[in-house]
Structure 1
Amino acid sequence: MPATPSWPPRSAPRLFVEAPVAAGELVVIEGNPAHYLTRVMRVREGDAVIVCDDVTGEWACRVVSADKRSVTLEPVEKLRPRESVPDIWLCPALLKKDRFDIVLEKATELGVAAIHPVLARRCVADKLNLDRARTVTTEAAEQCARTALPEIAAPRSLSAMLTKWPEDRALFFADEQGGEHALRAFASHAGPAAILIGPEGGWDDAERDAIRAHPAARPVTLGPRILRGETAALCALATWMSVSGDWQQ
C-alpha cells in the first residue's frame, strides 16, 4: 500500500498572525498575507497552512475559504509551543538600509531575542523604519521556522543606552582595538547578555572610553581582521549561540 502523506506537508506555507490562535476559533488572514497565500502559494480550500502567533506557538490549519481579499483558516492541531529563546540581545549601530536589513534578517535566523539599534557618532544612517524592520524579521522567522519573533527597539544614542543599561545584563563590546577572546568570554558567562557592535566608521575615542568605563562592559575581540558592521554582528552572534545559546540542544 502507498504511504499515507504526512499532514501538514513540509511544503505548507508559514506565516505569523497578530491574534493568539485557539482551537475552535477561525483565523482570518487579510491584506498582503492573504495575497501571498492565494496569489503566490496558490492555496485552495482544504490546503494546509502553518500559523504562528508569537504567543501560544505553532498551529497546523486547514483552509476553509480563500478569495482575493481574505483567507479563512481552521486550526486543526497545535504542533509546537512557542520556543524558549536564549536571552541574548544584539545592539548593532545603525548601518545603511541594505546592510542593516542583513543584520535584521540573519540575527533573526540565528535566534536572537531582541535587537536594540544604537546611534553612534559615525553612523551613516540615523533613522530606522520600525514597521519595515518588523516585516523583515517576521519574514525571516517564517523562513527559518521560528515560533517566536525578536523584539525590535527604537534606535537610541549610545549614551542613552549606557545610562539605562540593566545591571544584570553583561554587555560584550566588540572592540576592533582588542579585548578578551570572544569565544572564551561568551563561554565563561552565564545569564542575560548583549553584544554591542560599532558603526561603519568605527567608534570614536570618547565612545570607546565611555563603553569601557561602564561596569557591565566586557571588551572582546572577533579576530585579527577588521570586519564590516554586519559581518561582526553575525559572527559574534553565531559564536555566542554555539557556546551559550541553543545550538547545543
Structure 2
Amino acid sequence: MSTPRLYVDADLAAGQEAPALPGQGHYLGQVMRKGPGDAVTLFNGRDGEWQARISSIRKDRAVFTPETLLRPQASGPDLRLLLAPVKRDAMDWIVEKATELGVRSIQPVFTARCVIGRVNLERLASIAREAAEQCERLDLPVIAEPLDLHRALDAWDGAPLLVGDARSNARPLSVVLAGRRPPLGLLVGPEGGFTDQELDAVRRRPFVSPAALGPRILRAETAAVSGLAVLQALAGDWAAPS
C-alpha cells in the first residue's frame, strides 16, 4: 500500500511529536488500515516534507513522530487567482485544480452578476489541503476572505493582473505574458460576465492587462484553470528544471 501523505499544523522536526488534524486518525485507522509504527509522509508548509511514523492512533486521534527530512521547504511561483464565486461543484473543482497547478492564493471577488452570495471558506480550505496532499506540493494556497471586486482591486499590490476578455480585441494571453515573470495574477469573472461598468473600472487600473483566452467563450471554471495552466507554462515553474 502507498504511504499516506498528510498536511499537519504542528512544527516538524526529527523526534518531535506532531498531532494529527481532526479526521486524520479516522482516515488512517479505518480507511487506510494503518496502525502504530506505520510510515506516513508529513508537510506543514513551513518545514519541508518529512518521513514519519505513527506513534499512536485511537479512534479519531493520532500522533506522528517525524524521522527524516525528505525535501526542504520551497515555494512555487507567486501566481494568484481572483475569481468571482461560481456554483458549489464548479467552485470546488476550481480550487482543487488551482491547487494542483500551484497557485499561491485564491481571492474570491463578488461582482454584479455573481450567482453566489456566500463562500464556504472552511470547505474550500479542506479541498485545497486534500489536493496539496495528493499532488505533492509543499504548501497550501491561501484562500482569502471574499471581497467586493472594487475593494479587491484597491487592495492589490500592483503586480501585473491579467483579466480574461473574450468580447474585445484583447491580445492573446501568450502575447501579454511575453517577458513577464511572477508575481502575476489572473482575474476571472462570473458566469454571466462582467458588466460594462465593471470592465471599465478594471481596465482603468494601471496594473491590469486584458488578455484573450482563445476564440471561444469559456465557462468560468474553464477560463480559470486554462488561464492558470498558460501562466505556469509560459511564466511559471513548468519550464524550470526538476
**Which category describes the TM-score, using the shorter chain as reference length?**
over 0.9
Query: Within the alignment, does 1:210 sit opposite 2:206 as a pair?
Result: no
Q: Structure 1 length normalisation: TM-score?
A: 0.93
Identity rate of aligned residues, in percent? 43
Q: Which amino acid aligns with 2:237?
A: D
Give the one of 31, 54, 62 matched to 1:63: 54
Corresponding residue number in structure 1 for 2:160: 170
* C-alpha distance after superposition, 1:139-190 (max 9, x if no partner): 01001111110011111111111222212x0010111213111012223213
Partners of 1:201 and 1:69 in 2: CA distance? 43
In the TM superposition, structure 1's runs of 4+ consecutive aligned residues that sit over 4 Å from their partners are none
User: Residues 64-99 of structure 1: CA distance to partner in whole angstroms, max 9, x if unpaired?
Assistant: 222213222211101112222201101111101111
Aligned to 2:67: 76
Q: So what's the TM-score if we normalise by structure 2?
A: 0.95
Residues in 1 aligned to 2:133 and 2:113: alpha-carbon distance in whole angstroms? 33
Contact 1:112/1:150 (<8 A) preserved? yes
Specify the alignment match of 2:44 in structure 1: 53
1:215 CA displacement: 0.6
Give the letter for the 2:16 counterpart: E
Distance, in Å, in 2 between the alignment partners of 1:82 and 1:130 is 25
Letter in 1 for 2:227: A
In structure 2, the gaps of 5 or more residues are none
Distance across 2 between alignment mates of 1:191 and 1:90:
12
- 8 Å CA contact 1:34–1:68 kept in 2: the answer is yes
Residue pair 1:44, 1:66 contacting (<8 A) in 2 also: yes
Q: Are 1:232 and 2:209 counterparts?
A: no
CA contact (8 A) 2:77 2:182 kept: no
Q: Secondary structure at the match of 1:116?
A: strand
Distance in 1, Cα, partners of 2:20 & 2:52 = 12
**How far apart are 1:45 and its partner, in Å?**
2.1
1:31 alignment partner, SS class: coil
Secondary structure at the counterpart of residue 23 of structure 2: helix
Distance in 2 (CA, whole Å) between partners of 1:63 and 1:98 is: 34
For residues 30 and 101 of structure 1, the distance between their equivalents in structure 2, rounded to whole angstroms, comes to 21
The alignment status of 1:12 with 2:10, answered yes or no, reads no
Q: Does 1:155 align with 2:146?
A: yes
Distance 1:41 1:56 in 2: 25
**CA shift for structure 1 position 30:** 5.0
Equivalent residues of 1:92, 1:116 under 8 A apart = yes
The reply to whether residue 40 of structure 1 matches residue 26 of structure 2 is no
1:118/1:30 CA distance change after superposition, 3 Å? closer
More deviation, 238-247/171-180: 171-180
Contact map agreement 1:30 1:69 (CA 8 A) in 2: no
Farther-moved stretch of structure 1 (127-136 vs 158-167): 158-167
In structure 1, the gaps of 5 or more residues are: 1-8
- Per-residue CA distance 1:205-234 (angstroms, 9 max, x = gap): 000111111111100000010000000000
Query: Secondary structure in 1 aligned to 2:66?
Result: strand
Contact map agreement 1:35 1:68 (CA 8 A) in 2: yes
Deviation at 1:44, TM superposition (A): 1.5
Shift of 1:191: 3.7
SS at match of 1:140: helix
Asked whether 1:111 is paired with 2:74, we answer no
Partner of 1:117: helix, strand, or coil?
Answer: strand
Give aligned pairs, total: 239
Alpha-carbon separation, structure 1, partners of 2:44 and 2:95: 20
Q: Which moved more, 1:184-193 or 1:169-178?
A: 184-193
Question: Out of 230, 236, 242, which is 1:245 matched to?
Answer: 236
Given the alignment of the two structures, is residue 192 of structure 1 paired with residue 201 of structure 2, yes or no? Answer: no
**Superposed CA offset, 1:24-49 (max 9, x none):** 21122253111111111111222110
